[in-house]
Amino acid sequence: MIRMKPVDVVIVGFGWTGAIMGAELTEAGLNVLALERGNYRDTSPDFIYPRNADELAFGIRGDLFQPLARETITVRHGLNDTAVPYRQYGSFLFGNNVGGAGVHWNGQHYRPSPEDLELESHIAQRYGRKFMPEDMQIQDYGVTYDELEPFLEHFEYVCGTSGKAGNLNGSLQEGGNPFEGPRKREYPNPPVRSNYGAGLFADAARALGYKPFPQPSANASQVYTNPYGVRLGPCNLCGYCERFSCYMYSKASPQTTILPVLLRRPNFSLRTQSHVTRVNLDSTRKRATGVTYIDAQGQEVEQPADLVIVAAFQMHNVRLMLLSGIGAPYDPVTGKGVIGKNYAYQMMSSISVFYDRDVAINPFIGAGSGGNVIIDEFNSDHFDHGPHGFVGGGYILGGQTGGRPIQQLLLPPGTPAWGEKWKRAAKESYLHTTGVQTHGSVMAYRDRYLDLDPTYKDAFGLPLLRMTFDWHDNEYKMTKFLTDRAQEIANQMKPRQTSATVRQPGSHYDVRQYQTTHTTGGVIQGASPETSALNRYQQSWDVPNVFVTGASAFPQNIGYNPTGLIGGLTYWSAKAIRETYLKHPGPLVQA
Amino acid sequence: MSNKPRSPSRRDFLRQSMVAVPAVTLLGSSALAPEPGHAAPGTGAKTYAPRYFNAAEWDFLQAAVDRLIPPSEDGPSAVEAGVPEFIDRQMDAAYGHGGYWYMQGPFVPESPATLGYQLRYTPREFYRKAIAAIDDWCRRQHGKSFSALTHEQQDDILGQMEKGQIKLEDVPTDTFFSQLITNTKEGYFSDPMYGGNKQMGAWKMIGFPGARADFADWIEQPGKAYPFGPVSIEGEQS
């Protein structure tokens, strides 16, 4: 085995959280190495126009996604089922290469609600423990909204996020989200103007007494220079956003916000085509000595480091912890163990809103987030759940992110899938259709978890991650409630016709339909090593010189897109490393 | 509304096609005997020689996709749009070889449908196996291969495939139908550089401006019909 020169810090994976940790820990004077299994890429020459305006390559084939041919996961619905591989993309989309999923995301940039971070305590206090089904195992994050607020804000300023504050230091602001936690400052950029469909949604929502606001968007609405001195350009609503890279330097990604500065620092280095297969431990198994990776030539390389940051995508973090033997694997029968525990997801529904030919929606005018409108009345615990009998909620969105015809063509109910009638409907509906969507939380349950598959292997012969997941009644109730509200707004929009897609009780999790890439949990943070893998600073309880960033730390999922919380938690963790851990390397919280 | 984009009529479509590729078109339509229900003159679709599909498969493919998206006054049919060429070229791309998919066994095709594709076939293998099996079934049931049947018979068979009602050994016909219709719509609506969507005819039909990808000034004009036709990645304009 090849043995490299030791470094202070090795970062596994170079997406959003790897870039943030790289920036923070090089600023602290440390010698930092990031290992990325994919290739280097940047706006120019990799994301340029017109190459990026290619629906087949990026939207359908998924050229920005991790090649499943080399590594995927397996999926089963229940503990007694046999899992089979997720062979083609559907339900969620893994990122790939430098920037990770931070390149192909939509820029929907939210903060959690304060109660989301203390969910177990909050629900128990407001509704009583019996309100939670017996097998629901939700937990607190171990960090409060007030503690996290400066870090959530900082990430928004790094991204140049466009939006309108709804609560500035406790004072409610017209036009923003009145349900959000208090923020100290306004968003760094004003909102992107609403697209036409979103405007119709906003009018209807207002007429029903709701408080619509512009979706917070990491698509810059104007030229903006972030705290690192990196400049973003204004979004031009090109309609090629989710699943695509951004040719306008508008959508926040590691490339457009952090890398231009970080890559030039002399105490930082990036090694691509370096696939980490395990975190190495010393004989006490309480201390990591570095990582082992496979390089571009297929050689095994040992990289010694004093501090290991596991910063890959949520599922890859869980798998690396299991492959490395850090923390006890979760057992769904006894409920003991922590790695793989509390895998959660999100539950979506959508309503297509069809107008007559005199209403020009122009669906191709869209951005991943900028230009859409939200109501947040039914998210988190913004309403009394008592009469409804479920935990969680979600936001309702109006508008569209684009009108790419292979994937985003919406047709009236009853249209056949082919033939002359299909063709006629495509021609008559395309320009005149918009949408309303709900984006709902999923709680954590005892029998929903991640472990290593006993049968299927990756290209290196290592076991794939196995997901055991299906919907629970709580989420069916949540999505029905949310979709009923969305339908009322859609009706108020005075369309010719609507068509709702909502998951029905009894239907199983379907990997073929895209839902969200917001997979969470498996290396969760919390208050005790009995119930969580990480402490409140995302530090491993078992091996204190290992930190694990990203959505794998979420004890259960939220009703928002996760990236804002992920960025905030990463800056929070980085501060604890810089200010406390480096002075006294060891546990930041005593177990 | 007077400022709405004018939907291109079929006559406009053909006229623009003729202007765009006159030489190829004339050669194509005169060199091959036209078959009923297949390529209309003026598209050049018949001049393409398949690289992957053999003659029998090519006949099936052209006949089948032109029933999925048939000729009509609304816009181009799948064959007019070059969908068979698109699919043939995809067979030699990474997609056709299953390069995007995890293809390690064991394969468990009897898994619940909700767990996704679990067949051992790459797309090119699936077309080869399925077309032969369906043509064989057509000859047994109707005495002719699929492409020689009437449109009514073809529509009926496609409808049965869609519902998985035709049972063939080793070929789940609903799964094959799903691949066929997916690839057909991909070819119909993707950028013309992949071989389908000739002269951006499918984009013109629905009003999608293709690779324009810049609407900064249009967000200020909500509800106003967008007046410009599509452009393609390689610079075709309308």
Query: Mind listing the pLDDT tens digit for each residue in B74-113?
Result: 999 999 999 999 999 999 999 999 999 999 999 999 999 9
| Exposure string for A152-171, b = 16+ CB within 10 A, e = fewer | bbbbbbbbbbbbbbbbeeee
Tokens 């194509």 correspond to what residue?
B28
What is the C-alpha separation between B235 and B238, in angstroms, rounded? 10
Optimal mutation site among B208, B228, B231, interface A, most CBs of chain A within 10 A = B208
Judge whether B236 lies within some domain: no
Per the CB < 8 Å rule, is A87 touching B203?
Answer: no
What is the C-alpha separation between A371 and A376, in angstroms, rounded? 16
Per the CB < 8 Å rule, is A360 touching B211?
Answer: no
Question: Who among B113, B186, B216 is closest to A234 (CB)?
Answer: B216
Per the CB < 8 Å rule, is B106 touching A455?
Answer: yes
Q: Is A350 on the interface with B (CB under 8 A)?
A: no
| Chain A residues within an 8 Å CB radius of B194 | 56
Per the CB < 8 Å rule, is B111 touching A84?
Answer: yes
Yes or no: say if A422 and A463 are a contact pair by the CB < 8 Å rule. Answer: no
A465 min Cα distance to partner chain B (Å) = 14
Judge whether B115 lies within some domain: no
Per the CB < 8 Å rule, is B68 touching A234?
Answer: no
Asked whether residue B25 carries a pLDDT value surpassing 60, the answer given is no
Angstrom CA distances, A525 to A413, A572, A573, stand at: 44, 13, 11
Query: What does the pLDDT look like over A126-159, one tens digit per residue?
Result: 999 999 999 999 999 999 999 999 999 999 999 9
Yes or no: say if A243 and A404 are a contact pair by the CB < 8 Å rule. Answer: no
Tokens 């292997």 correspond to what residue?
A457
Average of pLDDT values for A548-568?
98
Average of pLDDT values for A489-501?
98
A474: which 2 tokens?
């709580």
Judge whether B50 lies within some domain: yes
Judge whether B162 lies within some domain: yes
Number of domains forming the structure of chain B: 1
User: Higher pLDDT residue, B167 or B35?
Assistant: B167
Cα Dmax for chain A: 73
B184 min Cα distance to partner chain A (Å) = 10
Per the CB < 8 Å rule, is A50 touching B205?
Answer: no
Residue among A388, A508, A518, A584 flagged as catalytic: A518
3-class SS string, B170-230: CEEHHHHHHHHHHHHHHHHHCCHHHCCCHHHHHHHHHCCCECCCCCCCCCCCCCCCCCCCC
* pTM of the shown model: 0.94
Judge whether B56 lies within some domain: yes
Per the CB < 8 Å rule, is B4 touching A360?
Answer: yes
Asked whether residue B42 carries a pLDDT value surpassing 80, the answer given is no
Yes or no: say if B196 and B233 are a contact pair by the CB < 8 Å rule. Answer: no
DSSP class per residue in B95-155: TTTTTTS---S---TTS-GGG----S--HHHHHHHHHHHHHHHHHHHHSS-GGGS-HHHHH
Cα Dmax for chain B: 61
Size of interface A-B (CB pairs under 8 A): 187
| Chain A residues within an 8 Å CB radius of B72 | 420, 423-424
3-class SS string, A213-263: EECCECECCCCEECCCCCEECCCCCECCCCCCCCCCCCECCHHHHCHHHHC
Per the CB < 8 Å rule, is A364 touching B116?
Answer: no
Question: Who among B186, B205, B225 is closest to A406 (CB)?
Answer: B186
DSSP class per residue in A500-519: EE-PPTTPPP-TTS---S--
Query: Which 8-state DSSP code applies to residue A445?
Result: B
Q: Is A500 on the interface with B (CB under 8 A)?
A: no
Q: Is A192 on the interface with B (CB under 8 A)?
A: yes
Query: What does the pLDDT look like over A175-211, one tens digit per residue?
Result: 999 999 999 999 999 999 999 999 999 999 999 999 9
- H/E segment holding residue A475: helix A473-492
- pLDDT value of residue B27: 34
Nearest CA in chain B to A461: B104
Is A88 in a helix, a strand, or coil? coil
What is the C-alpha separation between A65 and B163, in angstroms, rounded? 32
| Chain A residues within an 8 Å CB radius of B64 | none
Asked whether residue A314 carries a pLDDT value surpassing 90, the answer given is yes
Judge whether B4 lies within some domain: no
Yes or no: say if A309 and A547 are a contact pair by the CB < 8 Å rule. Answer: yes
A385: which 2 tokens?
């759940």
Per the CB < 8 Å rule, is A418 touching B69?
Answer: yes
- pLDDT value of residue A591: 84
Nearest CA in chain B to A70: B102
Q: Which domain holds residue B191?
A: 10-101+124-206
Query: What does the pLDDT look like over A246-282, one tens digit per residue?
Result: 999 999 999 999 999 999 999 999 999 999 999 999 9
Per the CB < 8 Å rule, is A77 touching B162?
Answer: no
Average of pLDDT values for A444-458?
98
What is the C-alpha separation between A314 and A524, in angstroms, rounded? 10
Give percent of chain B with pLDDT exceeding 70: 81
| Chain B residues within an 8 Å CB radius of A247 | 213
Judge whether A264 lies within some domain: yes
Q: How far is CA B17 from the centre of its chain?
A: 18
Nearest CA in chain B to A64: B100
| Chain A residues within an 8 Å CB radius of B98 | 69
A249: which 2 tokens?
């330097």
Question: Who among A62, A89, A430 is closest to B206 (CB)?
Answer: A430
Cis peptide before A50, with omega less than 30 degrees from 0? yes
- H/E segment holding residue A95: none
| Chain A residues within an 8 Å CB radius of B8 | none
What is the C-alpha separation between A308 and A416, in angstroms, rounded? 54
Per the CB < 8 Å rule, is B185 touching A82?
Answer: no
Judge whether B97 lies within some domain: yes
| Chain A residues within an 8 Å CB radius of B216 | 234-237
Q: Which of B168, B180, B143 is nearest to B57 (CA)?
A: B180
Judge whether A586 lies within some domain: no
Question: Who among B95, B104, B113 is closest to A457 (CB)?
Answer: B104
- Residue A412: other Cβ atoms inside 10 A: 15
Question: Who among A53, A358, A360 is closest to B233 (CB)?
Answer: A53
Query: What does the pLDDT look like over A322-366, one tens digit per residue?
Result: 999 999 999 999 999 999 999 999 999 999 999 999 999 999 999
Strand partners, B210: B231
What is the C-alpha separation between B139 and B130, in angstroms, rounded? 14
A289: which 2 tokens?
């000595």
What is the C-alpha separation between B236 and A316, in angstroms, rounded? 42
Q: Which of A380, A196, A292, A342 is nearest to A2 (CA)?
A: A292
Q: Which domain holds residue A307?
A: 2-581
Q: Which of A591, A502, A556, A537 is nearest to A120 (CA)?
A: A556
Number of domains forming the structure of chain A: 1
Ranges of beta strands (E only) in A130-207 are 167-168, 171-172
- pLDDT value of residue B46: 57
Judge whether A256 lies within some domain: yes
Question: Who among A69, A247, A423 is closest to B99 (CB)?
Answer: A69
Q: Is A461 on the interface with B (CB under 8 A)?
A: no
Average pLDDT of chain A, as a whole number: 98
Judge whether B118 lies within some domain: no
Average of pLDDT values for B144-169?
97
* Predicted ipTM of the assembly: 0.96
B7 min Cα distance to partner chain A (Å) = 9
* Confidence grade of residue A398 (pLDDT, cut at 50, 70, 90): very high
Give percent of chain A with pLDDT exceeding 70: 100
CA-angle at A432, arms to B190 and B186, nearest 5°: 15
- pLDDT value of residue A279: 98
B72 min Cα distance to partner chain A (Å) = 7
Q: Is A68 on the interface with B (CB under 8 A)?
A: yes
Q: Which of B162, B204, B197 is nearest to B84 (CA)?
A: B197
Question: Who among A61, A87, A192 is closest to B102 (CB)?
Answer: A87
Judge whether A591 lies within some domain: no
Catalytic status, residue A77: no
What is the C-alpha separation between A22 and A34, in angstroms, rounded? 7
Per the CB < 8 Å rule, is A69 touching B226?
Answer: no
What is the C-alpha separation between A365 and A382, in angstroms, rounded? 32
CA-angle at A21, arms to A17 and A23, nearest 5°: 115
Question: Who among B103, B162, B213 is closest to A238 (CB)?
Answer: B213
Query: What does the pLDDT look like over B179-237, one tens digit per residue?
Result: 999 999 999 999 999 999 999 999 999 999 999 999 989 888 888 999 999 999 999 99
B37: which 2 tokens?
């229900």
- pLDDT value of residue B35: 40
DSSP class per residue in A374-425: EE-TTSTTSS--TTTT-S--EEEEES-S---HHHH----TT--SSSHHHHHH
A369: which 2 tokens?
């987030």
| Exposure string for B136-146, b = 16+ CB within 10 A, e = fewer | ebbeeeeeebb
To the nearest 10 degrees (0 to 180), the angle between helices B83-91 and B123-142 is 130
What is the C-alpha separation between A40 and A46, in angstroms, rounded? 9
- Residue A447: other Cβ atoms inside 10 A: 16
Per the CB < 8 Å rule, is B219 touching A371?
Answer: yes
* Confidence grade of residue B31 (pLDDT, cut at 50, 70, 90): very low
Instruction: Give the β-pairing of A341-344 and A520-522.
Output: antiparallel
Yes or no: say if A275 and A96 are a contact pair by the CB < 8 Å rule. Answer: no
Query: Which 8-state DSSP code applies to residue A107?
Result: -
Is B29 in a helix, a strand, or coil? helix
**Which domain CATH number covers A23?**
3.50.50.60
Per the CB < 8 Å rule, is B189 touching A192?
Answer: no
